[in-house]
Amino acid sequence: MVSGSTVQLLPLGRTLVLPQGAALREALFEFGVEFPCGGRGRCKGCRLRVLAGDLAITADDRQRLSPVELAAGWRLACQARVSGDLTLEIAQWEAAVLGDQSRITFQPRPGLGVAVDLGTTTLAVQLLDLATGNVLAVATAMNAQAVHGADVMSRIHFAVHENGAGRLHDLIRRQIGGLIAGLRQEAARDEAIVEVVLVGNTAMQLLFCGRDVHPLAQAPFESDELDEACFTGAELGWSVTAEAVVRFLPSLGGFVGSDLLAGILATGLAEVKSLSALIDLGTNGEIIVTNGGRVLCASTAAGPAFEGARISMGMRAATGAISEVTVREGSLVCRVLGGGEPRGICGSGLVDAVACGLELGWITSTGRPASGEAVLLAGDVELAPRDIRELQLAKGAITAGLRLMVEQLGFTPGALERVHLAGAFGNYISRANARRIGLLPFPPEQIEPAGNTALLGAKMVLLRTVDFSTFWEELRPRVEHVPLNEDPRFHEVYVEEMGFPSQRLS
Ligand code: FES
């Protein structure tokens, strides 16, 4: 039986119960904590301080933190595992906003603000003190619309064919209003909430704003109502001032929404001078590629393999999931989240398992298990031939999309100098194994796990770290949506990209 540890997070006053041995990184990521170096123990950006209880000092802690800091209880959150009850202070939430110190400059102003990452699956909401930039309270929740379909297409189907747009619109507005009221109460602050900034994919934007989603139900999947939407607190009836401005940032095109626009802001992609990309690996893989001039954006249906769905023993990255697989002396060694018996495998474990299978010769470059049978991983968890196929479909969609976009700019994928990976999956995936399976065929040092760039970008707008109007005015004419589904070469390249490299890339 797994025993739990109580972990109190300050300054939020939030209490979590985590299994013994659980990685804090996984638990804190959900609250919008950033891991600027992708949790590799290199940047100190994820520091926390132990106020009560005990967190073992790791080798990376010793390397990055001074003896004085260690003695004062500072540890790297990305390296820490829970071994008893704890009270922790998250440095990032005290010291204003972003993990990347170079972008911390913001314009203080009175009042409170709220940043919302409105995802198809989950919502992340942060209440901020606009005078200090401190995060005062955080809430995450499953998107209440999920009862009407897990993915974007089923929500659109419900809206269009079952007359459900109004229902979805009401559900999400009510849910976000409720979360904001909860955050206000939790933070117990008197100041008014003066601004709310929301980001999300195009369907989330249209549904929240009460705009027509029909164009997303059929080719060419382009809506002409993607502009920024502004509401007042009075219109929404939320617990913000009546004059508070509630802004849903503009979408980029097709299914590529303001969450990716926020990602461009958070990664500084609009200013780069060399060929760079931002990839959000999800059911809808979203890709931005720029050479410093044009900014191409596209989405590609990768399927849910990266989220552990449609995999025979797939699951989300939760307790019991195999999240890492390595090879030791010719055998597979699996790391299970929370310790204990494996119950299934999540996306990062899947990428690892296939990479290890390729290395051991248990899986061929065409994706077939050499034995013709499922590959046993640990306990009862195994990898069926069709699971490998699902990963190939996801990988093929992303790499084909990326390749065609890079080619449109006159380059080959090998010319990419920097690839930012957005989202939780981007933080956990092994870059070496993503390279081994050909998903991200770049040297690991060129891949930058960028965390929740959607929430980060929303906070940057809220805190005026950038003048959003000027930023958007400059960026907008450079943005081109690439409808990959209409590209006659897409299918051919997709099939080509489904295979795995026969050997480790040098
Ligand atoms: S040290 Fe960089 S995220 Fe932990």
3-state secondary structure labels for all residues of 155-173: HHHHHHHCCCHHHHHHHHH
Confirm if 176 and 114 have CB atoms less than 8 A apart. Answer: no
User: Which ligand 1 atom sits nearest the alpha carbon of residue 79?
Assistant: 4
Strand partners, 284: 301
Positive/negative CA dihedral, 348, 353, 359, 361: negative
Task: Please name the helix (run of DSSP H) or strand (run of DSSP E) that holds residue 229, with its range, or none.
Answer: strand 229-232
Q: Which ligand 1 atom sits nearest the alpha carbon of residue 76?
A: 4
| Cα–Cα distances in angstroms (integers) from residue 352 to residues 78, 314, 344, 382, 468, in the given order | 20, 14, 14, 13, 39
Nearest-CA residue for ligand 1 atom 1 is: 41
pLDDT of residue 449: 85
Ligand 1 contacts (CB < 6 A) are 35-37, 39, 41-46, 76, 78
Pairing of strands 418-422, 447-451: parallel
Ligand 1 atom having least distance to the Cα of 78:
4
pLDDT the model gives residue 3: 64
Nearest-atom index, ligand 1, CA of 34 = 3
pLDDT of residue 28: 84
Instruction: Tell me how far apart the alpha carbons of residues 26 and 155 are, in angstroms, rounded to a whole number.
Output: 28
Give the model's pLDDT for residue 374: 93
For helices 258-267 and 468-475, what crossing angle results, to 10°?
100
For ligand 1, mutation pick of 26, 33, 34, 46 (most atoms within 8 Å of CB): 46
State the pLDDT at residue 264.
97
Ligand 1 midpoint to CA 249 (Å): 29
**What's the CA-to-centroid distance between 266 and ligand 1, angstroms?**
17
Alpha-carbon gap, residue 247 to 318, rounded angstroms: 33
Domains of the chain in start order, with CATH, are 4-94 (3.10.20.30), 101-251 (3.30.420.480), 273-506 (no CATH)
- Distance (Å, rounded) from C-alpha 429 to C-alpha 351? 8
In angstroms, the CA 10 to CA 90 distance is 6
Residue 396: the pLDDT is 95
Q: Residue 293's closest CA among 478, 470, 480?
A: 478
Low-confidence residues of the chain, pLDDT below 70? 1-3, 11-13, 32, 36-38, 93-105
DSSP alpha helix (H) spans, 23-119: 24-29, 59-64, 67-71, 91-94
- So what's the pLDDT on residue 270? 96
Ligand 1: atom nearest CA of 41 is: 1
Pair 230, 434: CB distance under 8 Å: no
CA distance 197 to 459: 8
**CB environment 96-134: b (16+ within 10 A), e (fewer):** bbbbbeebeebeeeebbbbbbbbbbeebbbbbbbbeebb
DSSP 267: H
Answer yes or no: are the C-beta atoms of 431 and 419 closer than 8 Å. Answer: no
Pocket test for ligand 1, best of 33, 43, 64 (most atoms within 8 A of CB): 43
d(CA 248, CA 197): 6
Q: So what's the pLDDT on residue 134?
A: 85
